[in-house]
A and B are shown apart, each in its own frame.
Chain A
Amino acid sequence: MTRPGPSLLQLQADVQARAEQAGLQLPEIVYEVVDHRRLNEIAAYGGFPVRYPHWRFGMEYDRLIKGHAYGLQKIYELVVNTRPVVAYLLSQNAPVEQKLVMAHVCGHADFFAHNAWFAHTEGDMMDRLASHGTRLRVLSDEVGVDAVEDFVDLVQGLDNLVDAGALGRAVDHAGNAPPLDGEATERDLLGHLLLHAPLLDWQHEVLAILRDEAYYFLPQGLTKIMNEGWASFWHSRLMTSELLRDAEVVDYAEQHSGAMGGSDGPMNPYKLGIELFRELFLRGGGERGGGLDAIFEARTIHNDLTFVDAHLDLDFARAHRLGDTDEQCAQAREQLLASLTNGGQPVIRRVAPRERGELSLSHSWSGSELQIDVAGETLVNLGRLWRAPVSLVTRLEGRELLLLCVDGEIRREFGELLERPAELGSSA
């Protein structure tokens, strides 16, 4: 890992000057130049040079490095939401690629600094995640590598049980997670476990660390389309209006269309995002009118779900071939919205205990079933933390279903019929 040389630093200064002239408000950006192995390693760690020890990062790395070795994927850039913003440049990138990456990074940096969903995240995440790693290594020395890793395995299976709605409450408060004075919100299950599960001291500490990290990464999952769309909108605008030299146009065009490409419709978040921003820019009045104001407002207030809901209308769906008929377009829009709700994760909330001591959960029905056998296993894991009965009410084949876990055993109880099950094959 090295600092960029003088030519890259000059390039960075040029790109950022243009970006700021164009209206982006950039926090400080620091670049590191790395080779592909190191870049894949950092990507496996979620963008950070150091994390706590866990096989899951090794698994990610295995996938990335194989994809790289067979030419299936290549990571050009990696940006980390921290202060200063840290971004990585691949040492093998050609100069025009570095320019493109830097323009793209400007978009991300502006987004991290201004989108409301990131308002709560801490700025010192490099240090924070490194110290989390140190803590888990120390604890592994004290209580054993396997004990700590097994516990992390358990908690990682539950780390989608966090409350996106409570993100705002973490502002003005140390840490990324919402504060736990008194009670956790009904969807903040990790918070509830932290307050009430019978945990050993070291388990409590590990859970607090993992909860903090879950809340740090949560908004990135909620704003993928917007974040990539915003960065792509700006790299495109900056490159084609100011930064490109004549000789670089063809290479740039190839890179850009490679990133926007994908044969199966505009679900590519880069493509969908950039088109939504472009549409909004044009409808808002374009260059002279209020186009810029409209997109800057959108980047501040929306997440993917609200952004798509507000701006992906029938005209857009037709223009971008989301379906051949209006009906198909509407259906595609609904599917997309469903997949973006709660970042694609099921909404699970804590409800009043059915019995004293039981941890009772309810899955808020949104039209899709949980994978029931896996949900059962998840409950068993939850039961191991809670050390008392746990239950989940969900829906299967139109019926209410209660999954109850007592002493590691799962029982299923079907309730009343809530709707006719869909005819098999009717949706094909």
Chain B
Amino acid sequence: MSADTGRIARDLRRFDEIVRGRIKQDLKRYVTGSEMIGRRGDRLVSIPVPRIELPRFRFGQNGKGQGQGQSSSSGEGKQGDGPAVGSAGSESGHHLLEVELSLEEMAAILGEELELPNIQPRGRARVEVASRRYDSISPEGPRSLRHLRRTMKSSLKRQISEGTWDPNDPRLVPAPEDWRYRSFRDVTRPDHAAMILYMMDVSGSMGREQKEIVRLVSFWIDTWLRSQYRSLETRYMVHDAAAKHVDQDTFYRLRESGGTKISSAYELADELLSKEFPAPEWNLYLFHFSDGDNWSGRDTEKCLELLRDKLLPNANMFCYGQVKSAYGSGQFKKDLDAALSTEDHVISCDILDREGILPAIKTFLGKGL
């Protein structure tokens, strides 16, 4: 946890690093994942509490052959199970949710693990971020927000003005109209605006596994960028020989078919940007995933032209991830690299398999553009 100060912060950090296997790898095998059962609302949740149990002489069960898992309760509490043991199995029907890491925490971990630089936003602050602030008083509201002091004040005022106030018997009985309640107002403050556009090749050569990889990469990129911008627009686009806008769900589920004309996607992207996301106002992140098997060299020429003239001048970053597929030639990345190697906000990357996901994210986001 982040806000811990004082000396314990150092010990806590060291513990975290051991648990994550960053330092002292020989202790990693003593890490046990125990948990606490907590409550969030009316759900039971499991809170992971990693422990490191150094070997010491202790009593324990010995299974046949290999030692069985050790008792997870550490030391304290009831050692000898009394006759009345809490029925551990009786709640087996409930599903315990692991306490989700918030996406912010996850992004922080991702950023830390991959040593991602924080992004420097550009453009004027444009978007208004809304939040609520409870800093005013209203004569109407829910009972839970009653403001007693203000209620008493208005009651006193009323009684004095009515002449019913008796200093010798200073009783205040609030009438219905005296009640005051805390209330909120919406406050807005400006923020940088950012948009991510994901473009995916869904031609016949992009199989299920390729799309899965794209999905994972996009998810993590999304998570990271969301941690950097409070308000983030996300758009999705798929293309085979023709490109179209889709929603997030479709983006991840659409089945493969057809041939490949990458330029169709870039054309549509250009149209989108010029219509809805004018460049100086927006931080634009463009991602394109394909297996690199474009229809023809002529179309690739057209793509490069579109990139150079239309998309690149406006985008913070253009990332091309080439997923390896059984059918793809992978030619597009070669052409792209050859033509645009001087543009330092063009990043291309091969993703051979799932192992390649993390390195790809690091390649894409490592520049902090």
Contacts and interface: CB of A to CB of B under 8 A. Distances in A.
Q: Do A and B share a complex?
A: yes
B12 A332 contact: no
Interface stretch (B75-83, B180-188, B290-298): B75-83
A233 interface: no
Contacts of A338: 80
Interface stretch (B54-62, B115-123, B163-171, B245-253): B54-62
B338 interface: no
B130 interface: no
Interface string B265-303: 000000000000000000000000000000000000000
A402 B14 CA distance: 37
A136 B61 CA distance: 36
The CB with the most chain B CB atoms within 10 A, among A38, A59, A66, is that of: A59
A150 B24 CA distance: 9
B60 A61 contact: no
Nearest to A45: B8
A406 to B, nearest CB: 18
Contacts of B55: 157, 374-375, 377-378, 380-381
Contacts of B1: 62, 65
A258 interface: no
B81 A335 contact: yes
Interface string B59-90: 11110001100100001011111111110000
Given A66-B49, A71-B39, A344-B79, A264 B85 contact: yes
Given A55-B18, A62-B15, A338-B80, A374 B56 contact: yes
Interface stretch (A87-95, A108-116, A362-370): A362-370
Nearest to B45: A70
B51 interface: yes
B155 to A, nearest CB: 25
Contacts of B81: 335
B52 interface: yes
B152 interface: no
Nearest to B58: A371
Interface in A267-285: 267
Interface residues of A, number: 67
Interface string B13-30: 111101000011001000
A61 B78 contact: no
B54 A58 contact: no
A61 B62 contact: no
Contact of B58 (A67, A346, A381): A346
B52 A55 contact: yes
B78 to A, nearest CB: 4
Contacts of B61: 369, 371
User: By CB atoms of chain A within 10 A, which of B8, B24, B59 has the most?
Assistant: B8
Interface string A384-414: 0000000010001100000000000000000
A339 B59 CA distance: 10
Interface in A41-95: 41, 44-45, 50, 53-59, 61-63, 65-67, 70-72
A397 B61 CA distance: 11
Interface string A298-325: 0000000000000000000000011110
B57 A370 contact: yes
Interface residues of B, number: 52
A146 B24 CA distance: 8
B7 interface: yes
Contact of B83 (A50, A157, A322): A322
Contacts of A392: 57
Contacts of A267: 77-78, 80, 82
Contacts of A346: 57-59
Interface in A102-143: none
B84 A157 contact: no
Nearest to B29: A377
Contacts of B62: 369, 371-373, 396-397
A153 interface: yes
Contacts of B40: 70
Contacts of A30: none
A263 interface: yes
Contact of B6 (A38, A62, A159, A160): A38
Contacts of B24: 146, 149-150
Contact of B59 (A70, A153, A371, A381): A371
B11 interface: yes
Nearest to B40: A70
A62 B13 CA distance: 10
Given A38-B6, A153-B27, A374-B67, A58 B12 contact: yes
Given A157-B54, A160-B57, A264 B78 contact: yes
Interface of A: 37-38, 41, 44-45, 50, 53-59, 61-63, 65-67, 70-72, 146, 149-150, 153, 156-161, 263-265, 267, 321-324, 328, 331-332, 335-336, 338-339, 344-346, 348, 363, 368-375, 377-378, 380-381, 392, 396-397
22 contacts: A37-B4, A41-B7, A50-B7, A53-B11, A57-B11, A58-B12, A58-B16, A59-B50, A61-B8, A70-B45, A71-B38, A157-B54, A157-B56, A160-B56, A265-B78, A323-B83, A346-B59, A369-B59, A372-B62, A372-B67, A373-B62, A378-B56
